[in-house]
Structure 1
Amino acid sequence: MTTQSFAAQMVLIDLDGTLIDTAPDLAGAANHVLQSLGRPPAPMPVIRGFIGNGVRELMRRALAIEAEPTEAEVDAAMPEFSAYYGAHLTAHSVVYPGVEEALQELHAQGRKLVCITNKAGQFTEPLLERLGLCNYFDLVLSGDSLPRKKPDPLPLTHAAAHFGLSPERGLLVGDSINDTQAARAAGMPVVAVSYGYRGDMPLADLAADVVIDTLPQLLPLLR
């Protein structure tokens, strides 16, 4: 285990692939739309690689398996995707092992906790609520909460300003290149989880400060 440590007064944590394994229900919604269009369903590993840039991009990439869709085709698919996903938000999605105990401890230490995701707000808060995580967070920033989302640094700098902190007093925990790029651009340290959704990208290419295998492994790194 690394000897590196972080003086983080604020811990920002990604949602899909970091806190919650949402891939089964996202895949279910995307495949529902594909099948309604008479197309074959996409395999789970393929859909898993599409997660991280919001549901519209996920649906666009699922449609593009057969042929690159027009914006109008993506527009037409989204109401059905959103309705199905909203109705099956937690059918198969689960909190990753150790997440809740880590959040409890971070909360008890008095650190500001932020859930920072590219997921649309209409899904973020119900998901956190239904899976019992929402009360741990002092701030929730979804993909449509601000004009720009990760990998833009805006959500990170916004969260820091919200709590009157400089970005270097925060720490971002995530699973994808969107997270590490946003943190670097914001001047914030970043820890990557070894699980989650990063497509075919090797873990080393995320270039995080530290890699952890479970969220509780974050706790000894904080001072």
Structure 2
Amino acid sequence: MPTTARKIASFPLAVKMVMIDLDGTLIDTVPDLAAAANRMLADLDRPAWGIEHYRAWIGNGVPRFVKRALTGEMQAEPDAALNERGLALFRQHYGEAVSNLSRPYPGVVEALEQLTDQGYALACITNKAEVFTLPLLKNLELHKYFKLVLSGDSLPKQKPDPLPLQHACRHFGIDAAHGVLVGDSSNDVHAARAAGMPVICVTYGYNHGHDIRQSLPDAVVDSLMEIPQYLKLYA
């Protein structure tokens, strides 16, 4: 079993609900995001970036992602008019090809099947806008596994705020201690900690190039197939 860090509960965790992040946890979405961003840049007569840049820039939502593509920096602010045009172009291009190149990570489908069979309620909690989230999940035939999908614009706040996690707990009628968040970034760890919930992170995915272990999740796994060994169904 992989090394654990800063446990807030003993393993196996007694939970009813498993919440799973989308980009970088369930699905490798970088290829489509990068393609859409480079089409946006071409429309603006700006040079394209390599996919390794986009892997580091994912997180914090589409508006910040577009700003990073326009400036080449994590927190820089482009010209307002350029940013407005770029954001509109990106949304158009990404919406037209949200799942052309994106694929679930190895073991994801098998893990979702196993967790469903074992009786856990599954929720997908993402900062991606619903207009992209739902087609992506449906096109890749993952939507059927989730009893709840919360996108970045479903609620007034998104991760790392705990509101989406708290909303999911209310939806399923459980305490935070009886849910677990599975993600890939420090945003997921911060959201879970604020909600008083355990969190397990994957070693792959998008965390701005930083080792997720530095954020001290309760456990770190190399595949979603490892998740069930950390859990037992809360009765």
Tell me, yes or no, whether TM beats 0.5: yes
Runs of 4+ displaced beyond 3 Å: none
For 2:175, give the aligned amino acid. S
**Distance (whole Å) between structure 2 residues aligned to residue 62 and residue 80 of structure 1:** 12
**Distance (whole Å) between structure 2 residues aligned to residue 195 and residue 122 of structure 1:** 25
Name 2:7's counterpart in structure 1. Answer: none
User: Per-residue deviation at 1:115?
Assistant: 0.3
Aligned length: 223
User: Per-residue deviation at 1:85?
Assistant: 0.6
2:127 and 2:152 in contact (8 A); partners too: yes
Name 1:45's counterpart in structure 2. Answer: 52
Check if 1:106 corresponds to 2:115: yes
2:19 and 2:181 in contact (8 A); partners too: yes
CA RMSD of aligned residues (A): 1.4
Check if 1:20 corresponds to 2:27: yes
- Unpaired runs of 5+ in structure 2? 5-10
C-alpha deviations, 1:161-196, integer Å up to 9, x for none?
Answer: 111111111000000011000000000000000000
For 2:137, give the aligned amino acid. L
For 1:90, give the aligned amino acid. S
**Distance (whole Å) between structure 1 residues aligned to residue 152 and residue 125 of structure 2:** 8
Name 1:209's counterpart in structure 2. Answer: 218
For 2:28, give the aligned amino acid. D
Name 1:136's counterpart in structure 2. Answer: 145
**Distance (whole Å) between structure 2 residues aligned to residue 100 and residue 142 of structure 1:** 20
**CA distance 1:148–1:71, change in 2 (3 Å):** farther
Check if 1:58 corresponds to 2:49: no
User: Per-residue deviation at 1:33?
Assistant: 1.0
User: Per-residue deviation at 1:74?
Assistant: 2.0
For 1:40, give the aligned amino acid. P
Q: What is the TM-score with the length of structure 1 in the denominator? A: 0.96
Identical aligned pairs, as a percentage?
52
**Distance (whole Å) between structure 2 residues aligned to residue 179 and residue 168 of structure 1:** 16
**Distance (whole Å) between structure 2 residues aligned to residue 145 and residue 70 of structure 1:** 28
Query: Bigger CA drift: 168-177 or 104-113?
Result: 104-113
User: Per-residue deviation at 1:54?
Assistant: 1.5
The residue matched to 1:75 in structure 2 has which SS?
A: helix
C-alpha deviations, 1:136-169, integer Å up to 9, x for none?
Answer: 0000000000000000000000100111111111
The residue matched to 2:208 in structure 1 has which SS?
A: coil
User: Per-residue deviation at 1:35?
Assistant: 1.7
**Distance (whole Å) between structure 2 residues aligned to residue 5 and residue 121 of structure 1:** 33
For 2:41, give the aligned amino acid. L
Q: What is the TM-score with the length of structure 2 in the denominator? A: 0.91
User: Per-residue deviation at 1:50?
Assistant: 1.2
The residue matched to 2:69 in structure 1 has which SS?
A: helix
For 1:68, give the aligned amino acid. E
**Distance (whole Å) between structure 2 residues aligned to residue 120 and residue 191 of structure 1:** 23
2:203 and 2:211 in contact (8 A); partners too: no
The residue matched to 1:7 in structure 2 has which SS?
A: strand
Name 1:162's counterpart in structure 2. Answer: 171
- Unpaired runs of 5+ in structure 1? none
Name 2:130's counterpart in structure 1. Answer: 121
Query: Bigger CA drift: 198-207 or 177-186?
Result: 198-207
Check if 1:172 corresponds to 2:181: yes
